[in-house]
Structure 1
Amino acid sequence: MSGVREVVDGVFELSLGVVNVHVVVTDDGVVLVDTGLPRNVKRIDRALRGLRKSIGDVRAVLLTHHHFDHVGTVAEIRRRSGARVFAHAADAPVITGAIPRETPAKGMAKLAARLIGSPEPTKLDQLITGDETSPLPGFTALHTPGHTRGHLSYLLDRDGGVLFAGDTASGTRDGKVTLGPTQASVDPAEQGRSLRKLAGYDFEHALFGHGPAVSGRAAELLRAYAGGSDGGSDGEGEGRP
């Protein structure tokens, strides 16, 4: 199935071009980690149908942060499926529309926002405020600020541990891990500190908002990068929001 990769049993990376959406199949239904750009519901539904699932099977959406390429279809998915949507309280006002969404200032992110449009605001069903909380069985939410103030990463207790790093870190084409995109980050130095925080956890696999997943020894690779880097505060990420 084009654009879909099973990283571990029941955990899929869905590539939507510049950004990834992640699908986790559980006993209670489908969990999505982020929802990609606006106007991508049909692509997500088509990918789910390839897994013998559908939008209607989505029971929860775990959002990593409020940027338009990660929350673009969440309102429609929530409307069509009744899924519960989770996000950090610090990013909630942008997701719900309580405060205006800022257009990316420069680069490809600005062009994409102008061409694709802004995500539809949506209600949130649960706000995450603490660290190492459990929004869903098997998942642990980790507050990893820097890319946005309310950025979250998630650990899934499956197959040695699966990290959903969002945009705190990214995967590279040669199978390594690096700092995530910093062009749209509110505090790249804090993002670097959050990456080093993730390096303190144990997990075998890591999936990212941008770049291919790493399967096997992912925590070791993240520690190797964190140990040899100042955190990437010079903006060495891939430049996507």
Structure 2
Amino acid sequence: MRQVADGVFEISIAFVHAHLVVVDDGVVLVDTGLPRRSAKIDQALHEARRAVGDVRAILLTHWHADHTGGAADLARRSGARTVAHAIDVPVITGAAPLPLTALQKVSKLFTGTPEPVAVDEVISADGPLALPGFTAVHTPGHTPGHVSYLLDRDGGVLFAGDAAGGGGTKVRRTPRLMTADAAAADAGVARLAQLRFEVAVFGHGAAVTAAAADRFRELAAR
């Protein structure tokens, strides 16, 4: 785990990141990593001198297993509220089957299948969440209900999920092979490029910790 902004920690879980945010009344998690890897979150909480009972909310960027894998276990043990976009909610809750591509059907053998989890706050429009300081931005493309989150802290911290990938000093497009709608994904990058934020963190790739919005603008212009 490493701190990438004030009270914002990047947690590496195999090939994906979850993020831990210390807030006034506890902790917020953005995504939860792979199934059966909740111990990584517990370890990160311990390093932050917190416990699972301090988790107040779990913000999910989209339904993929490497992002929702620990959500059910963590929500059950913490009592945290879960948040996701309305379009992806049926898959996250198990009301609809996982719409797996051929590649995802193969990768499921290694990643596992996430346990369905109830969603307490359903996002249907961009704007502030019930959670103070966080704003939802619908960025479809990687999945139809992919959502990014903007935290009003340190000049703005963007939780991009898989709307884009990080590289420390650059931002890259999510691989087309893993993107449901490439045109929508490009539009999502352009939309994020219009926002103001200093730091951006990603599901895959290292955080950009300075002038991150500029890196998105450079990507959108290519």
TM-score by length of 2: 0.96
Partner residue, 1:18: 15
Alpha carbons 2:34, 2:112 under 8 Å: kept: no
Runs of 4+ in 1 over 2 A off after TM superposition: 109-112, 132-135
Of 26, 30, 34 in structure 2, the residue corresponding to residue 33 of structure 1 is: 30
Partner residue, 1:140: 135
Deviations 1:67-107 (A, max 9, x none): 1110001000000000000000000000000011133422x
Q: Which amino acid aligns with 2:152?
A: D
Alpha carbons 1:147, 1:187 under 8 Å: kept: yes
For the pair 1:119 / 2:108, whether they are aligned, the reply is no
Partner residue, 2:214: 220
For the pair 1:198 / 2:192, whether they are aligned, the reply is yes
1:117-196 equivalences under 5 Å are 117-172=112-167, 175-196=169-190
Partner residue, 1:57: 54
Query: Alignment length, in residue pairs?
Result: 222
Of 100, 103, 108 in structure 2, the residue corresponding to residue 103 of structure 1 is: 100
RMSD: 1.2
Structure 1: where are the runs of 5+ without partners?
A: 230-241
For the pair 1:88 / 2:82, whether they are aligned, the reply is no
Q: Distance in 2 between matches of 1:182 and 1:54?
A: 38
Alpha carbons 1:132, 1:143 under 8 Å: kept: no
TM-score by length of 1: 0.89
CA distance change for structure 1 residues 181 and 32 in 2, over 3 Å: closer, same or farther? farther
The Cα of 1:184 is off from its aligned counterpart by 2.5
Alpha carbons 1:91, 1:149 under 8 Å: kept: yes
Q: Which amino acid aligns with 1:180?
A: T
The Cα of 1:145 is off from its aligned counterpart by 0.6
Q: Distance in 1 between matches of 2:90 and 2:6?
A: 35
Partner residue, 1:239: none
Q: Which amino acid aligns with 2:199?
A: H
Q: Which amino acid aligns with 2:107?
A: A
Q: Identity over the aligned pairs, expressed in percent? A: 55
Alpha carbons 1:104, 1:113 under 8 Å: kept: no
The Cα of 1:157 is off from its aligned counterpart by 0.3
Q: Which amino acid aligns with 1:87?
A: A
Q: Distance in 2 between matches of 1:5 and 1:181?
A: 25
Deviations 1:111-149 (A, max 9, x none): 431133210001111100001232410000001111111
The Cα of 1:110 is off from its aligned counterpart by 4.2
